[in-house]
Amino acid sequence: MEVVIVPDAAAGGELIATAIADLLTRKPDALLGVATGSTPLPIYQALAARVAAGSCDASRARICQLDEYVGLPKGHPESYRSVVLREVVEPLGLTADSFMGPDGSAGDIAAACDDYDRALAAAGGVDLQLLGIGSDGHIGFNEPCSSLASRTRIKTLTQRTREDNARFFDSLDEVPHHVITQGIGTILEARHLVLLATGEGKADAVALTVEGPVSSVVPASALQLHRHATVVVDEAAASRLKLADYFRATYAAKPGWQSL
């Protein structure tokens, strides 16, 4: 696992946008797995700025979703489909044709989950999966004690996650209890995992993820099992890392030819 400590969220966004732009140069139709929440927004803004400036061609990129609320009406502005279309797909100049995600309003949720896992495989697998981290250590919506082998399935949100996400809704009561999320086993199949965490509120979860044991109690610790996982953190989110100085020295001495 590579840990990169950046000064702030904007620097993290630029660094990861560079990795995505490099990937699109190597593979113009790469399948990019995107995350929702506040943390990845600087990545999407940095990437959209490059596309607008003509320094990155994302015209053949394909975008896929990590997770989705269950039960929100189709088109609800806070459904993750709506959020990804608004924050990622449209700013990159793409359309819904370039986008795939699980159907949170399906009549048969279990079938929708299986369909999504199959669709990801049929699309050739995810090339780069962006991840945020919950204050409880979740990735996607894999809450603590999610199986490390799990596939895309329905999950029940913890009260803490519902409270964390209530800011996007008019009240806590409106935050759904159920979600569809790519499983941890599904996420681990992506070729490159890039987790961005910013702010003091993520410091404990980051320390457990990077320096704690691999454990389903901290779902993000599964990144330790991946051969190409990158954790980008700002100073506040890095503040409880015991090996912070080592991570800084490693990155400072990184060969110029080696990208994230």
Residues classed as catalytic: 67, 136, 138, 143
41-53 vs 9-26: helix crossing angle, rounded to 10: 50
Confirm or reject binding of residue 146 to ligand PGA (CB under 6 A): no
Interface with ligand PGA, residue 137, by CB under 6 A: no
Task: Spell out the residues 6+ positions from residue 171 whose beta carbon is closer than 8 angstroms to its own.
Answer: none
Q: Which of 39, 98 has the CB closer to ligand PGA?
A: 39
Distance CA 14, CA 50 (A): 10
> Which residue's C-beta sits nearest to ligand PGA?
37
User: Tokens 């499983």 identify what position?
Assistant: 183
Select from 6-14, 54-62, 132-140, 175-183 the region that touches ligand PGA (CB under 6 A): 132-140
Binding flag, residue 38, ligand PGA (CB under 6 A): yes
3-class DSSP assignment, residue 98: helix
Please give the span between the terminal C-alpha atoms of the chain, in angstroms, as a whole number.
11
Closer residue to ligand PGA in complex, CB, 24/39:
39
Q: Which residues contact 85 (CB under 8 A, 6 or more apart)?
A: 96, 99
**Segment (H or E) for 4:** strand 2-6
Q: Which stretch binds ligand PGA (CB under 6 A): 37-45, 85-93, 106-114, 249-257?
A: 37-45
User: Looking at beta carbons only, is 29 or 163 nearer to ligand PGA?
Assistant: 163
- Does position 132 interact with ligand PGA (CB under 6 A)? The reply is yes
Work out whether strand 178-181 and strand 153-156 pair parallel, antiparallel, or are unpaired: antiparallel
What's the gap between Cα 20 and its chain centre? 13
User: Binding pattern to ligand PGA, positions 234-253, x when CB under 6 A?
Assistant: --------------------
User: Does residue 101 interact with ligand PGA by CB under 6 A?
Assistant: no
Residue number with CB closer to ligand PGA (13 or 24): 13
Contact status: 37 vs ligand PGA (CB under 6 A): yes
Nearer to ligand PGA, 13 or 132 (CB): 132
In one-letter notation, the amino acid at residue 118 is R
One of 102, 134, 183, 219 touching ligand PGA (CB under 6 A): 134
Angle at 42 between CA 37 and CA 47, to 5 degrees: 115
For residue 209, the minimal CB distance to ligand PGA (Å) is: 12
Choose which of 39, 65, 129, 142 interacts with ligand PGA (CB under 6 A): 39
- Interaction between residue 259 and ligand PGA (CB under 6 A): no
- For the record, the structure tokens of 89 come out as 């797909």
Distance CA 151, CA 180 (A): 10
Q: Give the HSE-up count for residue 133: Cα atoms under 13 Å, Cβ half-sphere.
A: 32
Nearer to ligand PGA by Cβ, of 24 and 196: the residue is 196
Which one of residues 133, 222, 238, 241 is an interface residue with ligand PGA (CB under 6 A)? 133
* Footprint on this chain of ligand PGA (rule: CB under 6 A): 37-39, 132-134
